[in-house]
């Protein structure tokens, strides 16, 4: 038992080290590959805007602003994620979502998006906001800040209680992660979230039965992290990563990463 655990750890170590490099290489290759520009409505999945600890999922504040301004210059417009999720999105429409509830989103993205009158959604991990996170507390928003964002019109959704990988926990635990996070958000903000973003968001992270549990918990929309590989019944998104300069970001908006999933050890 001990030996096999050690073996798995040895295997996981290089995966953790090379995962971001592999992701960067894959995104470069996919951007270079010929893809007919596909301007179908897309929901962008961001994480942090100036939290270096979030590594490949962190976009710097100047780059974030540049991406949004560039998209507007290229004729894209921004609408609420719920509009695209509900099937009413038009070609060239984009929506902005942030996963994980990071403080840098309020500091560096919120004022800019408010000034630009761009709607956005935030998926929070309720336990992390409560201080139960394997990261420094100050990385995350607190409930007061989330409440302030909600008052400004930001849609607050759930991203579970503890960000466990749903493929590795029992169905009862999945049901609790869905229901307890929703109840906790309602208790703190006075509004029960209607939407849920799957932790890690890949197809394999949403096991059979999770959709029923989400519905039973009261969610009407579940967001995945990939457009073409999203689990049945979920809404696809387009991940934006730390590597996405002008060219890769443009490729993302044109669908180059519709089949791309993050490589998580």
By CB under 5 A, name the one of 46, 67, 95, 99 that touches Zn ion.
Answer: 99
Work out whether 177 is an interface residue with Zn ion (CB under 5 A).
Answer: no
By CB under 5 A, name the one of 100, 227, 261, 262 that touches Zn ion.
Answer: 100
Nearer to Zn ion, 93 or 244 (CB): 244
**Part in contact with Zn ion (CB under 5 A); list of ranges 36-44, 68-76, 92-100, 227-235:** 92-100
Exposure string for 34-66, b = 16+ CB within 10 A, e = fewer: eeeeebebbbbbbbbbbbeebebbbbbeebbbe
CB of 260 to Zn ion, least distance (A): 16
Dihedral-angle region of residue 131 (phi above 0 means left; psi in -120 to 50 means alpha; beta otherwise): left
Work out whether 262 is an interface residue with Zn ion (CB under 5 A).
Answer: no
Using Cβ positions, the residue closest to Zn ion within the complex turns out to be: 99
Rounded CA-CA distance 74/53 in Å is: 31
Nearer to Zn ion, 31 or 124 (CB): 124
Residues binding Zn ion: what is the number (CB under 5 A)?
A: 2
Residue 64 · residue 108 · CB < 8 Å: yes
Contact set with Zn ion (CB under 5 A): 99-100
């Amino acid at each position: 038992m001990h030996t096999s655990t050690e073996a798995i750890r040895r295997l996981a170590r290089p995966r953790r080290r090379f995962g971001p490099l592999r992701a960067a290489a894959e995104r470069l290759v996919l951007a270079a590959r010929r893809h007919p520009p596909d301007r179908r409505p897309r929901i962008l999945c961001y994480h942090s805007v100036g939290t270096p600890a979030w590594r490949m999922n962190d976009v710097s504040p100047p780059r974030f602003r540049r991406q949004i301004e560039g998209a507007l210059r290229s004729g894209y417009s921004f609408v609420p994620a719920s509009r695209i999720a509900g099937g009413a999105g038009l070609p060239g429409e984009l929506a902005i979502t942030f996963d994980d509830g990071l403080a840098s989103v309020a500091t560096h993205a919120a004022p800019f998006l408010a000034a630009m009158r761009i709607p956005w959604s935030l998926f929070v991990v309720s336990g992390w906001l409560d201080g139960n996170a394997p990261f420094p507390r100050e990385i995350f928003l607190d409930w007061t800040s989330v409440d302030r964002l909600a008052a400004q019109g930001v849609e607050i959704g759930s991203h579970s209680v503890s960000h466990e990988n749903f493929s590795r926990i029992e169905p009862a635990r999945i049901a609790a992660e869905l229901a307890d996070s929703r109840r906790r958000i309602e208790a703190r903000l006075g509004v029960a979230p209607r939407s849920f973003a799957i932790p890690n968001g890949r197809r394999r992270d949403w096991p059979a039965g999770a959709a029923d549990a989400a519905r039973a918990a009261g969610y009407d929309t579940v967001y995945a992290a990939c457009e073409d590989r999203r689990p049945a019944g979920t809404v696809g998104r387009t991940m934006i990563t730390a590597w996405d300069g002008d060219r890769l970001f443009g490729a993302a908006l044109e669908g180059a990463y519709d089949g791309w999933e993050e490589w998580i050890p």
